[in-house]
């Protein structure tokens, strides 16, 4: 059965992965759980671009992936908010290390969830454009089309070096406001189990943060901020995806608790 491995903090990539998996008659699996089995003949990777590169957990996943069959159709799709040059080249590079070739690479511009720098822009027109581009991409993948990707350039590497999550304590810049109700949603939304919630205290961060901002966007009280750029800005979740879907597909089982509405 075709499998689409997905990582998604706010649902953009999960929406894309679900649509592709449905068209292929396959299933979506989490990129944030190290339980990959790669004996399928059609394997996809769908994830957001981070600082012109891969999220750290996606890079680790690809590095540690058991090599799929040489004749497997391997595709990758990155969702991004503004520019993501070379990101798919980074996937190609990881696969080449295993003697494999990326068969198809696709990019999809979606609302930018990097709240420290931007305000999320979403509208009906944007959603229509995304669906149009996604339909074309799905058509390609369903017909096992080939599409080469641009190389991972020194400039992309330079930009990616600025990614704050290369420092594991980047979570020390999170602040928790008095609006926090200790509901635990942030801990359940975190894809790497980085947030503990002692009952009488606020969220406690364990310094293995991916800076995906899933916690910040998921908090129903908007009580989390990262540095000052996120203060007062509207939080985001892809309108096609429920909070519980994000938790079920993208967060580790150990962090799950009550369903989230
Ligand atoms: C830490 C971080 C870094 C990001 N870096 C980039 C980037 O370099 N280029 C870009 O176009 N978008 C960037 N974005 C925006 C996301 O790639 C984009 O919104 C993506 O669709 C989010 O997908 P998700 O909802 O599946 O998490 C970044 C977002 C975050 C949280």
User: Any idea what the CATH number is for the domain that residue 178 is in?
Assistant: 3.30.70.20
The predicted model gives 220-244 an average pLDDT of 97
Cα–ligand 1 centroid distance for 198 (angstroms): 30
Cα–ligand 1 centroid distance for 48 (angstroms): 5
| Binding site membership of 130 for ligand 1 (Cβ less than 6 Å) | no
Q: Give the chain's mean pLDDT.
A: 93
Domain that holds residue 106: 3-159
For atom 16 of ligand 1, the residue with the nearest CA is: 80
Q: Which long-range contacts (CB under 8 A, 24 or more apart) does 17-20 make?
A: 17/44, 17/46, 17/77, 18/240, 18/241, 19/134, 19/138, 20/44, 20/46, 20/77, 20/137, 20/138, 20/141
- As given in the structure block, the two tokens for residue 203 are 């969220």
| Binding site membership of 13 for ligand 1 (Cβ less than 6 Å) | yes
| Binding site membership of 58 for ligand 1 (Cβ less than 6 Å) | no
Checking if the pLDDT of 253 tops 70, the result is: no
Residue 187's pLDDT is 93
> What is the count of structural domains for the chain?
2
What digits encode the pLDDT tens for the residues 175-230?
A: 999 999 999 999 999 999 999 988 778 899 999 999 999 999 999 999 999 999 99
What digits encode the pLDDT tens for the residues 150-165?
A: 999 999 999 999 999 9
Residue 252's pLDDT is 58
What digits encode the pLDDT tens for the residues 51-69?
A: 999 999 999 999 998 888 8
Do 152 and 242 lie in one domain? The reply is no
Do 49 and 150 lie in one domain? The reply is yes
**Atom in ligand 1 nearest the alpha carbon of residue 110:** 21
The predicted model gives 30-44 an average pLDDT of 81
Cα–ligand 1 centroid distance for 107 (angstroms): 12
């Amino acid at each position: 059965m075709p499998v689409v491995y997905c990582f998604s903090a706010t649902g953009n990539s999960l929406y894309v992965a679900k649509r592709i998996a449905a068209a292929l008659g396959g299933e979506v699996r989490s990129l944030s759980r190290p339980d990959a089995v790669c004996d399928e003949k059609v394997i996809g990777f769908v994830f957001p671009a981070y600082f012109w590169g891969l999220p750290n957990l996606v890079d680790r996943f690809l590095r540690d992936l058991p090599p799929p069959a040489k004749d497997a159709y391997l595709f990758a799709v990155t969702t991004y908010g503004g520019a993501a040059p070379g990101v798919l080249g980074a996937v190609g590079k990881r696969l080449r290390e295993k003697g494999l070739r990326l068969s198809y690479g696709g990019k999809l511009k979606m609302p930018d969830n990097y709240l420290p720098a931007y305000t999320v822009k979403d509208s009906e027109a944007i959603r229509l454009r995304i669906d149009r581009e996604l339909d074309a991409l799905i058509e390609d993948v369903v017909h096992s089309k080939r599409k080469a990707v641009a190389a991972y350039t020194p400039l992309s590497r330079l930009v990616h070096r600025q990614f704050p999550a290369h420092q594991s304590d980047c979570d020390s810049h999170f602040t928790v406001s008095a609006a926090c109700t200790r509901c635990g949603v942030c801990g359940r939304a975190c894809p790497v189990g980085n947030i503990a919630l002692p009952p009488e205290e606020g969220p406690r961060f364990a310094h293995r943060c991916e800076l995906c901002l899933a916690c910040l966007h998921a908090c129903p009280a908007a009580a989390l901020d990262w540095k000052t750029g996120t203060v007062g800005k509207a939080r985001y979740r892809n309108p096609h995806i429920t909070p519980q879907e994000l938790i079920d597909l993208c967060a580790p089982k150990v962090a799950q608790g009550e369903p989230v509405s």
